[in-house]
Amino acid sequence: MDPNGVCFEGTWTKMAAPMTHPFLAACRREPVDRVPVWMMRQAGRYQPSYRAIRQKVSFLELCRSPELIAQVTVAPIDEFGFDAAILFSDILVHLPAMGLDLSFEKGEKGKGDGGPKIGNPVRTRADVDALRVPVPKKDLQYVLDGVRAIRTALADRVPLIGFVGGPFTVASYAVEGGSQGFTRLKTMLYAEPATAHALFEKLTQAAIVQIEEQVAAGAQAAQIFESWLGELAREDLEEFSFPYLARIAEAVRKTGVPSILFSTGTTAHLERMAKLGYDVISVDWRIPIDEARARLPGVAVQGNYDSTLLLGPREVAVARAQQLLRAAGPTPGYIFNLGHGIQVGTPTENVKAVVDAVHAFGWK
Ligand code: CP3
């Protein structure tokens, strides 16, 4: 489908003269008037407006309400002028439909800092075989309704990014039972490789059907959050991750929207990741941006700004944003973003100052 489509009675159709937003142009490495900027976790607890909503509903209740999804997704666009919106949801929302008992421990009303918890983690081949690939139109209707509600609320001001978790990152929560490291999952790779492959296969299928349906509902780009990929050795990436990530890239390519691969701790593997079929590779702060761009010819690059800088001082945050833009250079295909998500406690004034500085930056 066309990423600049319009919604007509629930179906997305092509507009006669689609306007290309700077974010979508940068994904395709086309020239832009200004560098587009958005930030991972741009909707979240650093915002007073988000915290006010979370006083009333739990995190999962929020993720399951299309109206609240739209409100929370659009708020940072109105507040800071980001060039793209990202669907408010989580990379684990489909796990209950797959048969896993998901909760967010301190994610009840009014509380924060709650990590995910899986009551019945995946440990054996039988556990993997019992997992069901979700049917988004049935199991995740609230996400798809959320996507439609966001597109309506945005009225094409900025494009909407849909997302799913990468197989390795989702598996780490499914197998460990929460944010408890990677030892059980990595041991599974070495002790029971066939079980691990069967798990990654199911999670890949789950990722593909979700992203296909998000795009059909109106998402105009797709980001794969493979946050913890840096935990794996090169040979394990080759065997247990890259083939699955390449399949997801291919599935996104068929939908017609640009694809973004996000990970951290993976700068040793950039040349290899450039060949997975993604339009954009998101890099963390552990590499100079000019080096990342030189090592990623033929793909757009996103990210690189250290989210800790946003904690202040503001002059340093702004100066380092300008320094990053200069180092990224004028070659089309750079999207300003963080190396990982905005941190809780980030002053909103600093976010605004950095977005404004990116927008004001020029090559003249
Ligand atoms: O980027 C965005 O603005 C979109 C929303 C989004 C959330 N989670 C909202 C969220 C996205 C894209 C995610 C992805 C996600 N979820 C990832 C990959 C990205 C990353 O940061 O590495 C992971 C690992 C998860 C799993 C998850 N969800 C964890 C580990 C936690 C607890 C830790 C934390 O940051 O609070 C969550 C909860 C979560 N997901 C919150 C938000 C806003 C906080 C919930 C609250 O309101 O208390």
pTM above threshold 0.75: yes
Question: Which residues does 153 contact at the CB level (< 8 Å), separation at least 6?
Answer: 70, 71, 73, 74
CA gap 283, 262 in Å, rounded: 7
In the annotation, is 90 catalytic? yes
Whose alpha carbon is nearest atom 43 of ligand 1?
A: 44
Does the beta carbon of 258 sit less than 6 angstroms from any atom of ligand 1? no
Ligand 1 midpoint to CA 351 (Å): 18
Whose alpha carbon is nearest atom 31 of ligand 1?
A: 115
CATH code for the structural domain at 35-360: 3.20.20.210
CA gap 68, 229 in Å, rounded: 31
In the annotation, is 125 catalytic? no
Whose alpha carbon is nearest atom 29 of ligand 1?
A: 115
In the annotation, is 173 catalytic? yes
Provide the pLDDT for residue 298: 96
Whose alpha carbon is nearest atom 32 of ligand 1?
A: 115
Ligand 1 midpoint to CA 176 (Å): 17
DSSP 221-232: EEEEE-TTGGGS
Domain ranges (residues) in the chain: 35-360
What are the average pLDDT values for consecutive 10-residue runs of the chain, which has 364 residues? 42 49 98 97 98 97 98 98 98 98 81 83 98 98 98 98 98 96 97 98 98 98 98 98 99 98 98 98 98 97 98 98 98 97 98 98 76
Q: How far is CA 15 from the centre of its chain?
A: 26
3 state SS of 22:
helix
Question: Which residues does 82 contact at the CB level (< 8 Å), separation at least 6?
Answer: 37, 38, 39, 42, 76, 158, 355
Q: Which of 29, 41, 64, 151 is catalytic?
A: 41
10 Å Cβ neighbour count for 311? 17
Q: Which of 46, 50, 151, 173 is catalytic?
A: 173
Strands 160-165 and 85-86, bridge-based pairing: parallel
Does the beta carbon of 94 sit less than 6 angstroms from any atom of ligand 1? no
Q: How far is CA 354 from the centre of its chain?
A: 20
In the annotation, is 290 catalytic? no
